[in-house]
Structure 1
Amino acid sequence: MILAITPERAPLQVTDEGAVRIGNTRVTLDTIVAVFQQGATAEEIAYRYPSLALADIYATIAFYLNHQTEVEHYLHDRQQQAQEIRNLNETRFDPQGLRDKLLARKAQKEVC
């Protein structure tokens, strides 16, 4: 018997927002790369994220290792987008002002 070898596609899905998810799960490529870079094995990742199939984790890690430059650019862009959103939210909703309001409300309740 001859083994038929066909290339497997990485189980990656791009959302409308541009996030890359693993298969039909909500786990992102960002997450898998981060924990892999922290030294987690595929089996440890599967334990942490039980919605992922072990084969999909290995395929995702292989994709990352084979396309490291592109994935690093993608991750950098995602971090920049997150920082821009964070800055926008802090501008729209001043965290210090909110903190002051909450502390004033707490102080008022303690007086009553």
Structure 2
Amino acid sequence: MTLAIVAERAPLHITDDGVVRVGKTRVTLDTIVSVFKQGATTEEIVYRYPSLKLADVYATIAFYLNHQDEVEAYLQQRQQEAQEVRKMNKARFDPQGLRDRLLPRKTEREVC
């Protein structure tokens, strides 16, 4: 028997909105890298995210380790985008004024 050694592609795909997901799941590359950096083992990651396959988690971590600079740049970009969305949401939905707007509504309903 001969062992065929074939390089396999990483189980990663990019969605239409530019998010990298692992395997056929909704779990993101961001998530895997984050919990890996926190010290989680591959088995712990699969336990936390049961939709993942163990082999896909190993392959994703191997991809990260082999392409750290590119992945870190991607993660940095995603972090910046998230901060921009938070700023936009905060500007559109000011949390400080929310309580002030809701209290009169509550009072109106109690009176009726």
TM over 0.5: yes
Residue 30 of structure 1 aligns with which residue? 30
Cα deviation, residue 23, structure 1: 1.1
2:88 and 2:65 map into 1 onto residues whose CA distance is 34
Tell me by how many angstroms 1:100 deviates.
Answer: 2.2
Unaligned residue ranges in structure 2 (runs of 5+): none
Per the alignment, residue 87 of structure 1 pairs with 87
- Unpaired runs of at least 5, structure 1: none
TM-score (norm 1): 0.92
Which residue does the alignment assign to 2:48?
Answer: 48
Q: For residue 102 of structure 1, report the CA deviation from its aligned partner.
A: 2.8
Identity %: 72
Q: Deviation at 1:103?
A: 4.0
Q: Tell me the equivalent position of 1:70.
A: 70
Alpha-carbon distance in structure 2 between the residues aligned to 1:75 and 1:87? 18
- Deviation digits for residues 27-55 of structure 1, max 9, x if unmatched? 00000000000000000000000000000
Q: Deviations over 1:81-110 (max 9, x none)?
A: 00001101111111111132234445x27x
- Distance in structure 2 (CA, Å) of the matches to 1:49 and 1:41: 12
SS at structure 2 position matched to 1:44: helix
Partner of 2:2, secondary structure, is coil
User: 1:12 is aligned with what amino acid?
Assistant: L
What corresponds to 2:102 in structure 1?
Answer: 102
Aligned length, in residue pairs: 111
